[in-house]
Structure 1
Amino acid sequence: MIEKLISFSLRNRFMVLLVAIVLFGWGIHSVRTSKVDAIPDLSENQVIVFTEWMGRSPQIMEDQITYPLVTNLQGIPMEKYVRANSMFGMSFIYIIFEDNVDIYWARSRVLERLSSAINLLPAGVSPQLGPDGTGVGHILWYTLDAPGMDLGEQRAVQDWYVKFALQNVSGVSEIASFGGFQKEYEVTLDPNKLNYYGLSVAQVINTIRTNNNEAGGRKFELSDIGYIIKTTGYIKSIGELENLPVKTSQTIPVKLSDVGTVQLSGGNRLGIFDVNGEGEAVGGIVVMRYGENADAVITNVKAKMTEVAKGLPKGMKFNIMYDRSGLIEESINSIKRTLIEEMIVVSLIVIVFLFHWRSALSIIIQIPITLAASFILLNAFDISSNIMSLTGIALAIGVIVDNGIIMAENSYKHLATRQAELNKEKQLIKNKETRYVE
């Protein structure tokens, strides 16, 4: 088989050269379109289900949330196993699928099961799918540098402006906000006053909920002009909340301020985000979508940040805390430098040992063609160009030229043997001619 292949290649040199050129061109295209990252993604193929039920103990979360969901999510096609974790007010369920399963197919199957599992949960509890990112999807961290601005205002800018803008970048799965606090109205009720007015906590909560709403009416026409009727009832200040009538006692309205106090505060926090010991900060984490090009996504996010920065409040700017693009660039440049050095060293060694420029050239040409063709396989198997895959290519350079050296040496050996046989035949013929002349 090998002899036939060699014979075919020798008889069809132009075709072999054409195939090599096509492979090299295809490989160069694959190099340019290859996904670039610093580290390989070795995380499991998983879907996360997150359920929040604040104020409940871990045991209640385990009994009423985690256990019903886990039992319902088992048995999904191509599923390996299910892991779960219950904590105060939160439940996390990790559904692990086979490695060859498409992540979005897996997410759709989990959603099908969740649609029926909701009936098993307490009223008002709604499980949600986690982001379609991986364990190494945190590609960029940033903070908002705004000296003198309240942390609540910074968090509002992050949640209602920056987050929505950056989520539109292609390849971004989620922008996870952190730091600061989310503004909220806090009502502190006096139990003695509630008892005096004959009110319950449920009545006060219902009053606040029903008065913080908008309602729509109908459309009517007057003088060929259409008017839309609606009521605007969203609470916009502490004063509006304090003046809410909770009850009417002897034609006198009992306001919310009569039974408690209202103040603006932040939600309960489990921790703070501190930057270099200089104080708290507000920012976000850019989570990359599964299977995306990390280098391209980071570049697009930075470009979007430049655009978003124009709309930030005066004095506020982005401060990038972690950027994987630096690690990616250093890793790729290091491997590239190693590849170039190895190619030069191997080429010199081949030239010195063979001492025949045509044979050395035929071997050296194999290196760039083989390296370029290897990226075709990387893209075919959806493997990114990272420090591990490129290191493997660097280690294989020696193996690449081995075949050419062996073939060249074997050819020299056979040619030398053949030449010796020809010389021997010529010598015999010459001896015969000499005898004939004598």
Structure 2
Amino acid sequence: MANISSLSIERPVLATVLSIVIVLFGVIGFTALGVREYPSVDPPVITVSTNYQGANAEIIESQITEPLEESINGIAGIRSLTSTSSDGRSNITVEFDLSVDLEAAANDVRDRVSRSLRNIPPEADPPVVTKSDADSDNILSFTVQSNTRDVLALTDLATNVFKERLQTVSGVSQINIWGEKRYAMRLLMDPDRLAAYQITPLDVRNALSNQNVELPSGRIEGYGTELTVRTIGRLSTPEDFNDLIIKETEGSIVRFRDLGRAELAPENERTIMRGNNGVTQVGVAITPQPGANYIAIADECYRRVEQIKRELPKDVRVGIAQDTTVNIRKAISEVEETVLLSFGLVVLVIFVFLRDWRTTLIPVLAIPISLVGSFFIMY
């Protein structure tokens, strides 16, 4: 330490150049430094999710949740194991001890789940094993609401306008739409008509799978000409689905319109999101990339949302549902106040005791240089 001090006194130009280099590296580190509320520490939690469409909660629990729980329960290092079974979905949350390697634990869970596949119904979707990610939480979310538009229209607006504009913000990982409803073709069947024609829903499903296809049909070649042939087999309108041939016997044709009707409607009627005043709305949530600057992302998203507001119809309103950067801004403000107060007290105490401005000038320069240089180490 004495050698560094002596060298700095004997060669002031070298000391000045080193100070400038430290400040430059500190500025570079500061501009690239991530800003978030909590440290990026992944919790030792693994989730196993399984979908089984059409099954109620009792079937989900007995045929999916319990077999998977019995298999996973034997893994070493488990701290707690909880599960929820609802209509069409099973969720199992496994929490491990902090000393357990999360990647190794995830591999053990995947291995146990793969062994249990023979014990769950083959019609169920394969279980999905996911690790908890500290960077997967949303930092900012907006609400898009209207008194005159339905959820389908708001979903279309949130997907094609908000998502398209916000997903290009630097540092954004993905945009999630909450409470969305997507268009789908719903086939409504009359049980009495099915019984009269001796047709089951499985027959309708098979007919739909066989006829709602678009196959490559090759090409037609001629002298100096080549044409690609396309077979238009995809059904797209309710009329197309109503004309679907379900059964043909002894010259008579049974179409879907004879069994029920097809209509364009929401894919999932259960999904709904309403505000405090009961107004229909959907949410637009922003998830950041690892190591991103949350405040910079929020500022840019606010700027783009303000631009979008000027282009929206008058009956559509945009609100703020969540903003985690508020606490981050407060924390940074408190740190800035503490640093300035500490810096001022240090300079004041040195001057009061030494009563020499030249001596006091040393910490006045050294403290900012050391603080700025630490940003590069933090980066």
TMscore range, shorter length: 0.7 to 0.9
Share of identical aligned residues, percent? 23
Q: Are residue 25 (structure 1) and residue 21 (structure 2) matched?
A: no
Residue in 2 that maps onto 1:186:
186
Distance change in 2, residues 1:23/1:320 (3 Å) = same
Deviations 1:203-225 (A, max 9, x none): 12222333333222111213422
Does the 8 Å contact 1:140/1:287 carry over to 2?
A: yes
Residue in 2 that maps onto 1:9:
5
Per the TM alignment, residue 100 of structure 1 is displaced from its structure 2 partner at its CA by 10
Distance change in 2, residues 1:108/1:304 (3 Å) = farther
Does the 8 Å contact 1:273/1:281 carry over to 2?
A: yes
TM-score (norm 1): 0.68
Residue in 1 that maps onto 2:242:
242
Distance change in 2, residues 1:310/1:8 (3 Å) = closer
More helix by share: 1
Aligned residue type for 2:35:
V
Residue in 2 that maps onto 1:51:
50
Structure with greater contact order relative to length (CA < 8 Å, sep ≥ 6): 2
What is the SS of the residue equivalent to 1:365? helix
Residue in 2 that maps onto 1:85:
83
What is the SS of the residue equivalent to 1:36? coil
What is the SS of the residue equivalent to 2:138? strand
Q: Are residue 263 (structure 1) and residue 263 (structure 2) matched?
A: yes
CA distance in 2, matches of 1:127, 1:221: 48
Per the TM alignment, residue 281 of structure 1 is displaced from its structure 2 partner at its CA by 0.6
What is the SS of the residue equivalent to 2:272? coil
Per the TM alignment, residue 52 of structure 1 is displaced from its structure 2 partner at its CA by 1.8
Per the TM alignment, residue 315 of structure 1 is displaced from its structure 2 partner at its CA by 7.1
Residue in 1 that maps onto 2:33:
34
Counterparts of residues 100-111 of structure 1 (less than 5 Å): none
CA distance in 1, matches of 2:99, 2:34: 19
Does the 8 Å contact 2:67/2:116 carry over to 1?
A: no
CA distance in 2, matches of 1:179, 1:338: 43
What is the SS of the residue equivalent to 2:35? coil
Deviations 1:328-370 (A, max 9, x none): 3343234323322332233223212322223322333342233
CA distance in 2, matches of 1:213, 1:40: 50
CA distance in 2, matches of 1:156, 1:131: 31
Per the TM alignment, residue 21 of structure 1 is displaced from its structure 2 partner at its CA by 4.5
Does the 8 Å contact 1:73/1:114 carry over to 2?
A: no
Does the 8 Å contact 2:185/2:238 carry over to 1?
A: yes
Over aligned residue pairs, what C-alpha RMSD do you find?
4.2
Residue in 1 that maps onto 2:343:
343
Distance change in 2, residues 1:342/1:111 (3 Å) = same
After alignment, is 343-352 or 190-199 more displaced? 343-352
Does the 8 Å contact 1:37/1:294 carry over to 2?
A: yes
Unaligned runs of 5+ in 2: none
CA distance in 2, matches of 1:66, 1:160: 37
CA distance in 2, matches of 1:316, 1:354: 66
Residue in 2 that maps onto 1:203:
203
Does the 8 Å contact 1:47/1:106 carry over to 2?
A: no
Counterparts of residues 319-334 of structure 1 (less than 5 Å): 319-334=319-334
Residue in 2 that maps onto 1:420:
none
Does the 8 Å contact 1:132/1:173 carry over to 2?
A: no
After alignment, is 64-73 or 341-350 more displaced? 64-73
After alignment, is 187-196 or 127-136 more displaced? 127-136
What is the SS of the residue equivalent to 2:181? coil
CA distance in 1, matches of 2:187, 2:289: 40
CA distance in 1, matches of 2:26, 2:55: 57
Residue in 1 that maps onto 2:155:
155
Deviations 1:113-152 (A, max 9, x none): 5995695454351334659843772111123355633321
Residue in 2 that maps onto 1:61:
60
TM-score (norm 2): 0.77
Deviations 1:399-429 (A, max 9, x none): xxxxxxxxxxxxxxxxxxxxxxxxxxxxxxx
CA distance in 2, matches of 1:356, 1:265: 81
Residue in 2 that maps onto 1:402:
none
What is the SS of the residue equivalent to 2:210? helix
Aligned length: 372
CA distance in 2, matches of 1:164, 1:51: 30
Unaligned runs of 5+ in 1: 380-438
